[in-house]
Structure 1
Amino acid sequence: MDNSKLPINQIIARINDAAEMAREIISEANIFEAIIEGFNEAEGTNLKLTDITNLEAAQDWIDEFLEKYSDV
């Protein structure tokens, strides 16, 4: 849809929605980086967020990490 034909309040609402989505994504990435940092310290590795390219594998990795270290 051509945003130039929308009322200003709808344009602002769309911008706010996009900003909220961006904040959520950044928050999730920060949480994931913290988990990776904890794993690196516990396992003596040097993984980085950019090393994780497959989301399904990443979810399995997170589940395994949380299962292993949630009782610590």
Structure 2
Amino acid sequence: MITCIMMAQSPDHLRYHAYILRLWQERPATSDQSSVWRFSLEDTRTRQRRGFADLDKMLAFLQTQVCESTNQRISD
């Protein structure tokens, strides 16, 4: 888990992130397996797409993006 400390910043230092979220359910290869959800985020400015095997990995990426905007990060 990453915890961010937010420092007071002027509005000029605020960053803006916009992503297109895609999520889909992959069916199992065999009936004894459960289906899996997959996720991707596409940066609307750069069109770079990142894929995530699970929700926790996607949320960790987003939290990292927020922390980078504050210029400070503390890992728990």
| TM-score normalised to structure 1 length | 0.32
| TM-score normalised to structure 2 length | 0.31
Q: Which is richer in strand?
A: 2
Could you say which structure has the larger radius of gyration? Answer: 1
